[in-house]
Structure 1
Amino acid sequence: MTRKNITFLVFLFLSTSAYSQLLNSHKATLADSLRGNIHSPYRTCYDVNFYNLKVKIDVANQTIKGSNIFQFTATKDFKTLQFDLFENLQIDKIIYENKALPFIRTHHAVFVSFPDSIRKNSQQKFEVFYQGKPKIAKNAPWDGGFTFSKHQDQDWITTSCQGLGASSWWPNKDQQADEADSMLISISVPKDMMNVSNGRLRSVDTHPDAYKTYNWFVSSPINNYNVAINATNYILFNDVYKGLKGNLSLDYYVLPEHLEIAKTHFDADVKRMLQAFEYWFGPYPFYKDGFKLIETPYLGMEHQSAIAYGNKFKKGYLGRDLSGTGWGLKWDFIIVHEAGHEWFGNNITTKDIADMWVHESFTNYSESLFIEYHYGKKAGADYIIGLRNNIQNDKPIIGPYGVNQEGSGDMYYKGANMLHTIRCIINNDNLWRELLIGLNKDFALKTVTGKDIIKYINQKTKIDLSKVFEQYLEHKNPPTLEIKKDKKGFIYRWNCDVTNFNMPLQVYINQKLINLKPSSNWQYVKASSFNLDPNFYINLKKI
């Protein structure tokens, strides 16, 4: 392609609605639009079926070299497609039918042209060969990348790239809307190291240059950011969980010096976590690929079937209770929270990261459900209410679409309290459980939008909760209920960003719990006292 073609491609992006949105956001860039525009014709023209990733790690120089085979099905006739790879990594060549393809690079986007039109429904493949020094994580997993660390003078290498992007270390279609249906991950490391990635270990190849290649196969669709490298002199121990779909293998990879404490610590929480979550959400989604915990030098990540664990074998969040209630110190936060993402995040995945509340709100609420299952409903409610001290109400939870941008971090604690509030509105625990199980069954291994989830909840509950979701997700503040006392009672109304907000709630009137249906108009209740049920997360404003 010529430079003239580059200009034309950029013009196409400038003309999209996603880029129009970008212009209104001082934080977004052209690179964000190239990455975040999931509706670009250069990305929607092909559906990834399979990745075959091969990476060799030069530990001393902190560099990588490898290739990735894209197997795909064309969704329409096309001649040019886009994939993604960070521009600091060099592309040596792209091979299709034994011939090199021309390509251009714009920021982290790579545009590849084929010699002839690729026909709709045809299945094709090409291989990208690349090398370079990947981004080094500054504060994994939040500011992620490659982590080159040591323990007891032994090299310890891991990856974490959620938010940053999997294209920071391997070439792929870097968006959540298209997941490979399966994947082979072949990682070559020095022979004194073991690499653990996602799925099942198929084989280990020994090479004359003192390297070994660990070949891991993932049999289920997988998010790009979940693909992981974990390499050191791990010790493996195993267990089995007898779950809803039979025996689930439990494989634990830990540092040799932590073997004994890991055996005790993991045994205390993993099986009871699975027991609680299979009750609330249905079967663990990845029986074929198994369940793994892998010790990492950073806190943790929900890498599919290969959860990164770095909570230092402590209860709570590094020994702290995020709720301040005491309930958060009865279990290991990373085991419970990151495993919760196997259902919400890995089984159900949002197409655009602007909708990441579907991942984080439900998973944060899963912590409360874990507590409820083992310690009772009040304990679970106390925990979720306690998390409110962490809510910032700084900006909307839903981010701008099409520009690779998440919304507020309130998607965790505020999002969980939104779900708890909605559960109280539904006021039917059997239906609530059926809803959670139904989500994981009907959207199993699919990518969704936030609107898909809201529509599903409305349909299953037969309650229109659209305005409730809109207020909590699209505006920075929760609903505000205004009340004013007179001599014989109280007047009350909603004062919210959403027009005609109509969320029902429960309040204590004269110490008796009753249902109210406030509107934007003043209503009157005769009472000497008016107190909100604390399970509802709203602002109560006395005027």
Structure 2
Amino acid sequence: MKAFSLLLAILLIPVSIYSQGLLQEKNTFTHQDTLRGSITPEREWWDLTYYHLDISVDPDTKSISGKNTIKYTVLKPYATMQIDLQEPLFITKVTQNGKELNARRDGNAYFIGLIDQQVLGTNNTIEVYYEGKPKEAINAPWDGGFSWKKDENGNDFVATSCQGLGASVWWPCKDHMYDEVDSMDISITIPKGLISISNGRLESIVENKKTNTYNWTVKNPINNYGVNVNIGDYVNFSEVYAGENGPLDMDYYVLRDNLEKAKEHFKDAPRMMEAFEHWFGPYPFYEDSFKLVEVPYLGMEHQSSITYGNQYKKGYLGNDVSDSGWGMKFDFIIIHESGHEWFANNITNKDIADMWIHESFTSYSENLFVDYFYGKEAAADYVVGVRKRIQNDTPIIGTYNVNKEGSADMYYKGTNMLHTLRQLVKNDEKWRQILRGLNEKFYHQTVNTKQIEDYISEKSGIDLNAFFNQYLRQAHIPTLEYSFKKGKLNYRWINIVADFEMPIQVTFHNKEQWIHPTSKWKTVKTKDQNLSINRNFYVNSSKIE
């Protein structure tokens, strides 16, 4: 039964969930969890500004080696820096200003003793050299690491994925979401005959005797897990999309044998861009372009380098997650993972406990894609259809400062929470402007839940404190309890947090109308004995006979 449940979870939950966190529940947290998940004193004193990740990848030995050049600004004087790198990889040397520094390892964190004085406001650089055989992903992208595969022609087909587990599973970095690097260069040296694709734009290819080095540049801020390396026998085709901010380069890198089918199948990409620029605002990374890159696993939202492995099928590996029929109108991975460019890559959570900011909005983007092309009723069919995947097991928000996400309900419970919120706003254009406003207000920023809650409350003109407490911070959903007695309809909310007073649309007297339940009984005269709740509200109901 346990094995079946695990398989079911993998099949039903969208792919951009991260490593093993959602598939097993932790009851206790360790010292390593705190080092990974908190803003330690060794992290908070410096502001990350630039990375140059320069590595060689050897598919034959499944090993990597190289260095990461890290630039930073001193926020307050301190003498120790935390750099994260997970076993079995290891740091071989750290230098600053030509001096080799002491690096003390504590599990997956290294504490670097700095020799030169760190003066407030100065911009400094360290070089971190490392090597080894990184963790191999057994079932990417859920468990994270390197995927060392072969394509059908026997060519190496290699990719990285590391959400949740952390980028430090394959490269040394400041591995916490709160501090995004401002810009980045990525140099990947690989055997001749293969092509390496990473984030941003390809600046140059340096040909060596037995290897080639691919140099990529990322001009926008990027979160660590959004950085990726993909290696294979790739071919490329491209188009220019007329976007809200002008011409947008859209590139597609696929295995050689899949070129023709990709040219047809990837037509969902410009459709995605049209729908999401409408709902969310301009694509956030015009300078870095947009790419879809074929990989040997299902997919992931790597910034400006969305990885794709949905086997060129509509739906989720050929299945409709909503069972409504509308889920077969698009390629799930192209739509869902690209939606993360706005929610995850543009707006990024500071702590993984707030991962709902990534996943609820992006799962909701599937619904908005359907809405844009097929209409509101089709979108309602879709969002109602995914409710069967909701567990209501644990709260959507996780535990802070220990790298612990909340329930997998952040996907489709979060979707239905946002769809319910759209009903409360009542004006679809106002709702659209709230979604676009989020991406403008928090453009290229890391945020916490309170910032998102406060913004939506302010712009909607609704006090949503109890609403978010209800749907994000506890497992159960509100239940409308009601009865018909002596010509009266009696109703109230139960299973609710304090001060929960959400209005709701119901139908009785053959008329749809708003009622305003609270925790106390309310009464309205009626000869009708039937009541139905508008399906667009994610609530339960209980009729007392």
Q: TM-score range by the shorter chain?
A: over 0.9
Aligned residue for 1:410, secondary structure, equals helix
Tell whether 2:233 aligns with 1:244: no
* Residues in 1 aligned to 2:524 and 2:300: alpha-carbon distance in whole angstroms: 49
Contact 1:347/1:446 (8 A) holds in 2: yes
Match of 2:21 in 1: none
| Number of aligned residues | 517
CA deviation string 1:351-399 (max 9, x = no partner): 0010010111001111111111111111111111111011011100000
Pairing of 1:501-540 with structure 2 (within 5 A): 501-527=500-526, 528=528, 529-540=530-541
- Show CA shifts across 1:116-151 (max 9, x none): 431111110101000001000011011111000001
The residue that corresponds to 1:7 in the other structure is none
Q: How many Å apart are 1:512 and its aligned residue? A: 1.0
Matched-pair contact (CA < 8 Å) for 1:397–1:409: yes
Cα deviation 1:407-465 (Å, max 9, x = unaligned): 00000000000000011011111110010110001100000001100000011111001
Matching of residue 137 in structure 1 with residue 137 in structure 2: yes
Secondary structure of the corresponding residue to residue 118 of structure 1? coil
The one-character-per-residue Cα deviations of 1:446-485 (angstroms, maximum 9, x if unpaired) are 0000110000001111100111111100001111221122
Offset from partner CA, 1:44-76 (integer Å, 9 cap, x none) = 111110000011112111011010011000111
On the 8 A contact 1:47/1:74 being kept in 2, the answer is yes
CA contact under 8 A between 2:477 and 2:496: conserved in structure 1?
no
Distance 2:262 2:103 in 1: 48
Q: Deviations over 1:292-314 (max 9, x none)?
A: 00001111100000000001111
2:3 aligned partner: none
Question: What amino acid is the match of 2:491?
Answer: Y
Q: Which residue of 2 aligns with 1:265?
A: 265
Within 2, Cα distance between the matches of 1:320 and 1:525?
45
Aligned residue number for residue 174 of structure 1: 175
User: How many angstroms does 1:487 deviate by?
Assistant: 3.2
Give the aligned partner of residue 279 of structure 1. 278
- Map 1:469-508 to 2 at 5 A: 469-508=468-507
**CA deviation after TM superposition for structure 1 residue 505, in Å:** 1.1
Structure 1 residues 352, 246: closer, same or farther in 2, change over 3 A? same
Q: Does 1:399 align with 2:398?
A: yes
Q: What is the aligned partner in structure 2 of residue 354 from structure 1?
A: 353
Whole-Å Cα distance in 2 between the matches of residues 222 and 118 of structure 1? 25
Q: Under a length normalisation based on structure 2, what TM-score does the superposition of the two structures give?
A: 0.94
Between 1:292-301 and 1:26-35, the stretch displaced more is: 26-35
User: Partners of 2:489 and 2:402 in 1: how far apart?
Assistant: 46
For residue 163 of structure 1, what is the amino acid of its counterpart? G
SS of corresponding position for 1:288: helix
Equivalent residue of 1:537, what SS? coil
- 1:8-157 to 2 correspondence within 5 Å? 26-38=27-39, 40-151=40-151, 152-157=153-158
**Aligned equivalents of 2:484 and 2:33: distance in 1?**
51
Q: Is the 8 A contact 1:493 1:522 kept in 2?
A: yes
Runs in 1 of length 4+ with deviation above 3 angstroms?
none
- What do residues 215-245 of structure 1 show as CA deviations (whole Å, max 9, x unaligned)? 0000000010011010011001111111111
Partner SS for 1:237: strand
Report the residue type matching 1:389 in the other structure.
Answer: K
Task: Measure, in 2, the Cα distance between the counterparts of 1:497 and 1:156.
Answer: 50
Alpha-carbon offset, residue 25 of structure 1: 6.5
Aligned to 2:433: 434
- The answer as to 2:157 corresponding to 1:165 is no
The amino acid of 1:57's aligned partner reads V
CA contact (8 A) 2:315 2:329 kept: yes
Tell me if structure 2 keeps the 8 A contact 1:354–1:399.
Answer: yes
Q: Offset of 1:27 from its aligned partner?
A: 3.6
CA distance in 2, matches of 1:377, 1:83: 48
State how far apart, in whole Å, the 2-side matches of 1:161 and 1:274 are. 25
1:51, 1:180 within 8 Å by CA — same for their partners in 2? yes
3-state SS of paired residue (2:117): strand
Aligned partners of 1:510 and 1:84: how far apart in 2?
63
Q: Structure 2 counterpart of 1:422, which letter?
A: L
What is the letter of the counterpart of residue 297 of structure 2? Y
Instruction: Give the match for residue 407 of structure 2.
Output: 408
CA offsets 1:180-204 (integer angstroms, 9 cap, x no match): 1000000111011100000000011
2:397–2:472 CA contact under 8 A, matched in 1: yes
- Aligned position for 1:13: none
TM-score by length of 1: 0.94
Gaps of 5+ in 1: 1-23
